[in-house]
Structure 1
Amino acid sequence: MNPYQYQAPPTGIELVPRPLKMKLTVRAVGANSSSHGRQRTVGQLLGVIFGICLGYILTSTIRHFMLNPHICFSKHNIPVYDNINEAFRIIKHDRGKDTHNSAKSLVFVGVMTASMYLNTRAKAVYETWGRELPGKIAFFTSEASVSAGDLPVIRLKGVDDSYPPQKKSFMMLKYIAEHFSEHFEYFMRADDDVYVRSDKLESFLRSINSSKPHFIGQAGKGNQDEFGHLSLKDDENFCMGGPGVILSRSTLLKVAPHVRDCLKNLRSTHEDVEVGRCVRKYAEVPCTWSYEMQSILYHNSSGTEAFTGSLKQREVHRAITLHPIKNHTHLFRLHSYIQVVWF
């Protein structure tokens, strides 16, 4: 009906003229209060329904944040693996089977990498020593990274590929603890430019009591220029990240709940220094003070020239890990050499 078209009023309706106006206002006599009452009832009902819906949404949202605290980070359209079943699918591990202390559950290796290295270094790691582990491996990268091929890639929410990778390292440890802590005995933090002798790693880990807190690596206190600038006391150290760091389950579980606090209290720009500080504070265990670790978890100071020449070296034959191998083609070369020596 056209609102401006005149309609004859029904019985019981009187017309009340309004001064200086060309249109008439219609007022219902006797029906006004009941109409307003119905409107109030409908309004109250809608208000109750709206309140119930809003309460449900808020409750569900709060509960979701409490169960998934890392959801507070920014999100992109690229899916980020968070569901625990999906996490086990990625690493190709059957969480329903009891594989305690078996060839498939001794160690989980988390490799920190970046989007630009997924198709080179990360792929080389996965196609060489990554397939021979007495356990599983996954490559942790930024949220915006795109996975390559069949690589077991886990994109961390709210994490980018900026350097130093402090946030990436801490959030990787948190993710590993939340998803895999009950399924492996040891957990190794590795870079994508390290080579790991899987046979030697297994022998080494099986010689240690996994029920005790361990923080295993090549102990460091910083170079001469950094001495006194890392907020380390004379009796404090950290495990150098390059050649690899190993944590037992108890150590990981003590540290993981506090990674956000550790990220809020960084005292240096060095990721491995801050991880060591966090482990020392909450797990109350230092990095291994063993001189032998320098040859077991070996770091070559030659930089990009490391392991590019003759591989017939004592360190190559003796070490569990070799670092760094900057060119992924050299990693394949090293792996081929190890296979010949091994067999």
Structure 2
Amino acid sequence: MRLSTFLALFRPALPLILGLSLGCSLSLLMVSWTQGDTDDPCGDELAKGGLFLGRRDAQRGGRDGAGEEDFQPRIVPYHKDPNKPHKKVLRTRYIHTELGIRERLLAGVLTSRATLSTLAVAVNRTVAHHFHRTFFFTGLRSPKVPHGMTVIAHGDDRPVWLMYETVRHLHQHYGSEYDWFLLAQDDTYMQAGRLSELVGHLSAGQDLYMGRAEEFIGGEEKARYCHGGYGYLLSRSLLARLQPHLDTCRNDILSVRPDEWLGRCIIDYLGLSCMEVHQV
């Protein structure tokens, strides 16, 4: 009775025990056959290949009679030249800046103190999440800044001055971090998803001023400016070329419309007109 109970308990483990026993027996037989047929070929090959360097060097030293010792590392101290000026290595804050990797699109929304808590908030809730970063530029700061919005106040509510300070601020602080800049008013209706997709197909290395082309007042010339009510795109290279001329444009170009002022500045100093269609 006890024997049958014992066999019933260990019956599931019998195949495993037999397999292990058979495997160990075959392994021992294979090892004995290998040692009997060869004369340590692995040791000879490794010694010839130079893997046993200690043994090989010892044999060589014994043949040469020199008995060289093992190699010991030597520390070479660094002595700073007192006559050489010290150069401080400047490292960027983020790795993508050091590697020259830029984001695609930054959006700048021109707003005012009166519409910051209404129209600007609506823009922030509806389209801001489609862009990497969105800034709201105003002349005078509101006493209460809406939560979750980056608002930059320039201290002057004149429209042309606001445009001048906005373009200068974008180039100075973000000109090397983004490929494209979108400027729009806070009452602009835009399809942000399509804009983000569009800049993914455009090359930031070319000067591009793109938006809804409008004629200047009088309509006597062929050049067009981009209407601010529809928003417009500025490439990074165009912004870099325009920056040295901003002060001259502010002093010489008389206009009450900021989008017309910027268009005139780009046309006069860069020779570029607003484009509605661009072939990729």
Q: TM-score, normalised by structure 2?
A: 0.61
- Contact in 2 for aligned 1:143/1:155 (Cα 8 Å): yes
CA 145–255 in structure 1, closer or farther in 2 if over 3 Å, else same: farther
Give runs of ≥4 in structure 1 deviating > 6 Å: 99-102
* Distance in 1 of aligned mates of 2:119 and 2:276: 30
Q: 1:227 aligned to 204, 218, 229, which one?
A: 218
> Aligned ranges for residues 28-43 of structure 1 at < 5 Å?
none
* Distance in 1 of aligned mates of 2:207 and 2:93: 24
Q: 1:215 aligned to 209, 212, 215, which one?
A: 209
Q: Does 1:109 align with 2:115?
A: no
The residue that corresponds to 2:126 in the other structure is 128
- Contact in 2 for aligned 1:187/1:249 (Cα 8 Å): yes
Q: 1:96 aligned to 94, 97, 101, which one?
A: 94
The residue that corresponds to 1:184 in the other structure is 178
* Distance in 1 of aligned mates of 2:94 and 2:189: 31
Q: 1:269 aligned to 238, 245, 256, which one?
A: 256
How far has the Cα of 1:145 moved from its partner? 3.2
Describe the superposition over 1:191-240 as per-residue Cα deviations: whole angstroms up to 9, x where unpaired.
00113322211221122221111001111104xxx325xxxx52221111
Q: Which has the larger radius of gyration?
A: 2
CA 150–172 in structure 1, closer or farther in 2 if over 3 Å, else same: same
CA RMSD of aligned residues (A): 2.5
* Distance in 2 of aligned mates of 1:241 and 1:170: 14
Aligned residues: 186
Could you tell me which runs of 5 or more consecutive residues in structure 2 were left unpaired when the two chains were aligned: 1-91
How far has the Cα of 1:148 moved from its partner? 2.2
- Contact in 1 for aligned 2:113/2:140 (Cα 8 Å): no
How far has the Cα of 1:289 moved from its partner? 5.4
* Distance in 1 of aligned mates of 2:267 and 2:172: 20
Describe the superposition over 1:260-293 as per-residue Cα deviations: whole angstroms up to 9, x where unpaired.
2111112332221110111122333211154x9x
Q: 1:257 aligned to 239, 244, 266, which one?
A: 244
Q: After alignment, is 257-266 or 184-193 more displaced? A: 257-266
The residue that corresponds to 1:139 in the other structure is 136
SS across alignment from 1:207 = coil
Which amino acid in structure 2 is aligned with residue 239 of structure 1?
A: C
- Contact in 2 for aligned 1:212/1:248 (Cα 8 Å): yes
* Distance in 1 of aligned mates of 2:272 and 2:100: 24
Q: Does 1:247 align with 2:237?
A: no
SS across alignment from 2:103 = coil
Could you tell me which runs of 5 or more consecutive residues in structure 1 were left unpaired when the two chains were aligned: 1-93, 293-343
Q: TM-score, normalised by structure 1?
A: 0.50
Q: 1:286 aligned to 264, 269, 273, which one?
A: 273
Which amino acid in structure 1 is aligned with residue 183 of structure 2?
A: R
The residue that corresponds to 1:118 in the other structure is 116
* Distance in 1 of aligned mates of 2:100 and 2:189: 23
Q: Percent identity?
A: 26
- Contact in 2 for aligned 1:105/1:136 (Cα 8 Å): no
